[in-house]
Amino acid sequence: MEILLLTDIVIILGLAVIVLLLFHFLRLPAIVGFLLTGIIAGPHGFGFVGAVHEVEVLAEVGVILLLFTIGIEFSFQRLLEIKKQVIIGGSFQVFFTILSSYAIATRLGFPTREAIFIGFLISLSSTAIVLRLIQQRAEVDAPHGRAGLGILLFQDVIIVPMIIVTPLLAGNNPAGMEGEFIFFLAEGLGIIALILMAAKWFIPWLLYQVARTGSKELFLLCVVSICLVIAWLTSSVGLSLALGAFIAGIIISESEYNHQALFNILPFRDVFTSFFFVSIGMLLDTSFLVANLVVIFLVSVGVLLLKSAVSVGASILLGLPLRSAILAGLSICQVGEFSFILSKVGLGHGLLSDNYQLFLSATVVTMAATPFIIGLAPRIADLAICLPLPGKLKAGLLPEPPKEMARKLKHHLVVIGYGFNGRNVAHAAKMTGIPYLIIEMLPDTVKSARKNGEPIFYGDANHEEILRHASIEDSTVVVIAINDPTSTRRITENVRKLAKKAHLIVRTRFLKEMETLYKLGADDVIPEEFETSVEIFARVLAKYLVPRDKIEELVVQLRADGYEKFRSHDRKSSSFSQLDLHLQEVEVTAMLIKEGSPLAGKSLAELELRKKHGVTILATRREEATITNLETEMTFEAGDILYMMGAPDRLAKIARLFSKTEDGDDAFL
């Protein structure tokens, strides 16, 4: 018996592979490829897919898993850190987008109620697309990434009141609306309280019990069940499934099982989110698009410009410099997937009947344009800050750093970025007495660090004025340790221009960034992925018992050669080719002398383990003390642990001597 859904899945996946392969060669974004796949396979394209509703269900699962993984990579602490972005930035963006859309729609002749509803639809952005793109660009922790995420989270919450208010806008069933809202609020608070209690007591206990079994299948089922149950609970009170999934991810992130949970979920997330983008493409009516191409283009451009302007304003209100505000604003300028849900509610109440296809077409166009807009955003931002705008706007609305802070310093260290790496560098400078100054773009981080006495000030190091405030021209060393690759390149260029004699150290995440950063003037570039491989390499050599000084020499050579050893498999190094792993057949092990062992009561000289058996005792542990300098007269006791080196077969042969005496053991000695 033919299963329609299975046939459609095969068609979608097969077509997606062909389209994405073509897009890879053309260097076009994969998300646009998925949208095109949906357009081709959907009912308005070639009609390859019949089970459209079932595909939409799979798409909903994709959004749930996407938000779940985002939540796992977050934590309650990090969520609290962006509460300002959620409350202030989100409310400003949503309210002023609705207000601006209403003003424009009424001017175009739309009735008041429909104009407000259009504002609702336009105010929501695509959480799925934006988060996927900024994750791929490693910008979730960048200031503009945090601002965008905060605003998106607010939108995911505000859609619920919008759904409740929509019937009232249509003039249907106004009675009892206040009571319905109060009931929703009470029910929502009750569910959230239940989830928080489960997060504190039940879920950690459950994960522990499941992890104890050692069953990978059971652990995966448990994690997925937690995600879906919490998403279902939030959905049951009118909140979005995606918000519930994000909360579930946050809960998992607080446990010690978060990394394994994320590893298990990622393959499922990638597959199901693909169905989400395909399902969006299926909604587009290509005949309507072709017939109204100019109108759809103008509406789409208008929406993008309007949302960009309002979102940039919200980001500036949060204290971000102009460049970061533009990056944040352009990332959330599209219309989102939750607008489709809201549009169906409005369509049922007669608020969008004449313009539904126009809304769908413009929404899909803005979604498809998003990857290109985010890719061009750094260039647009760089052009904007070259305009003759007020310096206060370019640098951010927070107070400038006290000038005396930097004037006192010369030959100092400047640390740009106060994340994990920046904190470590500053801590090391403090411990060694090196004068230093920190530049950071996150207002909350600056505020808390100042309370701890750190010499830190708020500013966007992309601007030369901010660098001058740090007396960059008088510095000896500058360390750039931020998460935004585009800003890293620009700051590197500016620092080298202003501080020609300073030693510039740049941290980046990927090897591919190294060559560009060196060309821009960096003296040292430290890529995280390479440093990880160096550490692995050193530990591998240590396991083969290569001398420590030899390992250090090889590691130094790797770095001195500019990491060419990992870039080219053909190039050979004299040090590597001459490395003789002559101890690869030698093993180091520890054995416990048990009661009744023939070794107990005998001295090192009496045992003659090296002479008789080719085994060397390196050290002994007795109670809490480790003895490395062994005397030949030292007598071993039951309970001693001997650390020995020798060939594996010889160590195995003498292992029985450590147990209770058996016939022949004394003769063996």
Reduce the DSSP state of residue 127 to 3 states and report it: helix
* Partners of 526 in beta bridges: 507
Specify the pLDDT at position 567.
44
| Pair type for strands 625-627 and 616-622 | antiparallel
Phi, psi of 418 (to 5 degrees): -115, 50
Which one-letter amino acid corresponds to residue 129?
A: I
The pLDDT of residue 631 is above 90: no
Across the chain, mean pLDDT equals: 79
Reduce the DSSP state of residue 484 to 3 states and report it: coil
**Angle made by CA atoms 628, 634, 636, in degrees to the nearest 5:** 90
Q: What is the mean pLDDT of residues 179-184?
A: 61
- For the chain, residues classed under CATH 1.20.1530.20 are 4-42+53-384
Which one-letter amino acid corresponds to residue 120?
A: F
Specify the pLDDT at position 100.
93
The pLDDT of residue 654 is above 60: yes
Tokens encoding 498: 């202003």
C-alpha dist (Å) from residue 519 to 487, 490, 638: 15, 12, 64
Reduce the DSSP state of residue 200 to 3 states and report it: helix
* Partners of 507 in beta bridges: 526
What's the N-to-C CA distance of the chain in angstroms? Answer: 75
pLDDT in tens, 376-433: 888 888 888 788 877 777 766 655 555 555 456 778 899 998 888 888 888 888 887 8
The pLDDT of residue 457 is above 90: no
- For the chain, residues classed under CATH 3.30.70.1450 are 587-668
Q: What is the mean pLDDT of residues 563-581?
A: 49
Q: What is the mean pLDDT of residues 458-472?
A: 81
Assign residue 55 a region (left: φ > 0; alpha: ψ between -120 and 50; beta: otherwise). Answer: alpha
Phi, psi of 470 (to 5 degrees): -90, 10
Q: What is the mean pLDDT of residues 545-559?
A: 70
H or E segment and range at residue 589: strand 587-592
Q: In this predicted structure, which of 17-31, 197-211, 487-501, 566-580 has the lowest mean pLDDT?
A: 566-580
**Angle made by CA atoms 107, 111, 117, in degrees to the nearest 5:** 100
What is the second-level CATH architecture of the domain 4-42+53-384?
Up-down Bundle (1.20)
Phi, psi of 334 (to 5 degrees): -90, 170
Tokens encoding 259: 């990394």
Upper half-sphere CA count for residue 230 (Cβ side, 13 Å) = 30
Specify the pLDDT at position 529.
67
Q: Fold for domain 398-522?
A: Rossmann fold (3.40.50)
**Which residues does 645 contact at the CB level (< 8 Å), separation at least 6?**
586, 587, 588, 615, 616, 618
Tell which wins on pLDDT, 174 or 544: 544
pLDDT in tens, 76-104: 666 676 778 888 888 999 999 999 999 99
pLDDT in tens, 286-318: 888 888 899 999 999 999 999 999 999 998 888
Tokens encoding 273: 């989110």
Taking the C-alpha atoms of residue 425 and residue 358, their distance in angstroms, rounded to an integer, is: 54
Q: What is the mean pLDDT of residues 340-369?
A: 82
Say if pTM beats, i.e. exceeds, 0.95. Answer: no
* Partners of 436 in beta bridges: 413
Taking the C-alpha atoms of residue 355 and residue 111, their distance in angstroms, rounded to an integer, is: 13
Taking the C-alpha atoms of residue 482 and residue 100, their distance in angstroms, rounded to an integer, is: 35
Reduce the DSSP state of residue 620 to 3 states and report it: strand
Reduce the DSSP state of residue 641 to 3 states and report it: strand
587-668, superfamily in CATH? Regulator of K+ conductance, C-terminal domain (3.30.70.1450)
**Which residues does 81 contact at the CB level (< 8 Å), separation at least 6?**
146, 444
Q: In this predicted structure, which of 66-75, 147-156, 211-220, 462-471 has the lowest mean pLDDT?
A: 66-75
Residue found under tokens 């006495």: 453
Tell which wins on pLDDT, 164 or 570: 164
Specify the pLDDT at position 561.
64
Taking the C-alpha atoms of residue 66 and residue 669, their distance in angstroms, rounded to an integer, is: 64
Which one-letter amino acid corresponds to residue 306?
A: L
Residue found under tokens 């009516």: 285
Specify the pLDDT at position 96.
94
Q: In this predicted structure, which of 203-217, 389-403, 435-449 has the lowest mean pLDDT?
A: 389-403
Percent of the chain topping pLDDT 70 = 85
Specify the pLDDT at position 1.
41
Instruction: Answer yes or no: are the C-beta atoms of 39 and 45 closer than 8 Å.
Output: yes
The pLDDT of residue 469 is above 60: yes
DSSP letter (8 states) at residue 635: B
Tally the residues of the chain. Answer: 669
Tokens encoding 631: 């005397």
Supply the angle between the helices 216-236 and 241-253 in degrees, to the nearest 10. 140
What is the 3 state secondary structure string of 213-238?
A: HCCHHHHHHHHHHHHHHHHHHHHHCC
